[in-house]
Structure 1
Amino acid sequence: MTRLWTGSLAARFICFTLLSLALAQAATFLISWDEHGQVMRKAAKGEMLSRCASLVRVLEATPPELQDDILAASNTTSTRYWVSPHGPTDAAQWRREAWDHLTRPLPRVMFPGQKAFPEPRIEAPANIEAAGSPNWYEVRPEAWPLARPASFLYLDQNTGMGLAVRLENGSWLNSAFAKPVQEGFWNAQSITSLGLSALVLSIIAVFAARGITQPLRRLARASEALGRGQDIGPLPETGPEDIRRTAEAFNRMQARLLRFVEDRTRLLAAIGHDLRTPLTSLRLRAEFIADDELREKMLSTIAEIQSMAEATLAFMREEATAEPTRTVDISALVESLCEDLAELGHDVVFAEGPRLGYRCRPAALRRACRNLVENAARYGERARVRIEVSEQNIDIVVEDDGPGIPDGAREQVFAPFFRLENSRNRETGGVGLGLSIARTIVRHHGGDVMLTNLHRGLRATVSLPTLDAEAPARAPRETHAEERMPASIPGARATPAV
Structure 2
Amino acid sequence: MLKTLRQRLWPRRLASQMVALVLLVLVLAFAISLGLLAGAHKESIGNLNQGQISRQYLSIVRLMESSDPSYYPTILRAARSATTQVSLDRSSALPAQPPTPRDAHLIERLVEHLGPEYAGRIRASHALRIKLPERELRRLREHRGERMTEHQRRALLERRLSEHPDKRPKLEFFSLSVQLADGQWLNLDSQLPEPPPLVPRQTLIFLLISAAALMVALVWMVRRLTRPLQALTRSADQLGRGQPVAPLAERGPEDLRSPIRAFNQMNERLQRYVSDRTRMLAALSHDLRTPITSMRLRVEMMPPGPDQQALLATLEEMQQMSEATLAFLREGSDQEASRELDLDAMLESLCDDLQQLGKPVHYHSAEPLVLLARPSGLKRALRNLVENAVQYGEQAEVRYQRHDDAVWVEIQDQGPGLSESDQERVFEPFLRLEGSRNRHTGGVGLGLSIARNLVRAHGGDIELHNTHPGLKVRVILPLGS
C-alpha distance in 2, partners of 1:63/1:247? 95
Question: Between Structure 1 and Structure 2, how many residues are aligned?
Answer: 426
Report the residue type matching 2:480 in the other structure.
A
C-alpha distance in 2, partners of 1:26/1:59? 49
Mapped pair 1:447 → 2:460: yes
What corresponds to 1:72 in structure 2?
77
What corresponds to 2:32 in structure 1?
26
Pick from 41, 51, 58: which aligns with 2:56? 51
Pick from 118, 134, 137: which aligns with 2:108? 137
C-alpha distance in 1, partners of 2:443/2:198? 83
- Contact 1:382–1:400 (Cα < 8 Å) also in 2: yes
* Cα distance change of structure 1 residues 63 and 153 upon mapping to structure 2, 3 Å threshold: closer
C-alpha distance in 2, partners of 1:203/1:20? 11
* Cα distance change of structure 1 residues 7 and 54 upon mapping to structure 2, 3 Å threshold: closer
TM-score between the two structures when normalised by the length of structure 1: 0.65
Report the residue type matching 2:449 in the other structure.
S
- Contact 2:274–2:333 (Cα < 8 Å) also in 1: no
* Cα distance change of structure 1 residues 290 and 171 upon mapping to structure 2, 3 Å threshold: same
* Cα distance change of structure 1 residues 385 and 266 upon mapping to structure 2, 3 Å threshold: same
- Contact 2:79–2:86 (Cα < 8 Å) also in 1: yes
CA RMSD of aligned residues (A): 5.1
Higher RCO structure (Cα 8 Å, ≥6 apart): 1
Report the residue type matching 1:8 in the other structure.
R
What corresponds to 1:436 in structure 2?
449
* Cα distance change of structure 1 residues 183 and 290 upon mapping to structure 2, 3 Å threshold: farther
Pick from 315, 338, 359: which aligns with 1:346? 359
1:477-496 alignment runs, 5 A limit: none
What corresponds to 1:2 in structure 2?
6
Report the residue type matching 1:450 in the other structure.
E
Report the residue type matching 1:137 in the other structure.
E
1:160-213 CA-to-partner distances (Å, cap 9, x unmatched) read 47586979xx79995747554859999999xx9999799959976994797376
* Cα distance change of structure 1 residues 286 and 150 upon mapping to structure 2, 3 Å threshold: farther
1:27 CA drift (Å):
4.0
TM-score between the two structures when normalised by the length of structure 2: 0.67
C-alpha distance in 1, partners of 2:12/2:290? 61
* Cα distance change of structure 1 residues 365 and 132 upon mapping to structure 2, 3 Å threshold: closer
C-alpha distance in 1, partners of 2:446/2:315? 18
| Greater CA drift, 422-431 or 41-50 | 41-50
1:367 CA drift (Å):
0.7
* Cα distance change of structure 1 residues 48 and 380 upon mapping to structure 2, 3 Å threshold: closer
Report the residue type matching 2:36 in the other structure.
L
* Cα distance change of structure 1 residues 69 and 448 upon mapping to structure 2, 3 Å threshold: same
C-alpha distance in 2, partners of 1:178/1:452? 88
1:211-231 CA-to-partner distances (Å, cap 9, x unmatched) read 376666655554444333344
* Cα distance change of structure 1 residues 182 and 448 upon mapping to structure 2, 3 Å threshold: same
* Cα distance change of structure 1 residues 188 and 51 upon mapping to structure 2, 3 Å threshold: closer
Report the residue type matching 2:387 in the other structure.
E
What corresponds to 2:311 in structure 1?
298
What corresponds to 1:311 in structure 2?
324
Structure 1 unaligned spans of 5+: 86-92, 99-126, 471-498
What corresponds to 2:143 in structure 1?
none
1:311-335 CA-to-partner distances (Å, cap 9, x unmatched) read 3333444443422222221011011
C-alpha distance in 1, partners of 2:99/2:58? 29
Percent pairwise identity? 35
What corresponds to 1:103 in structure 2?
none
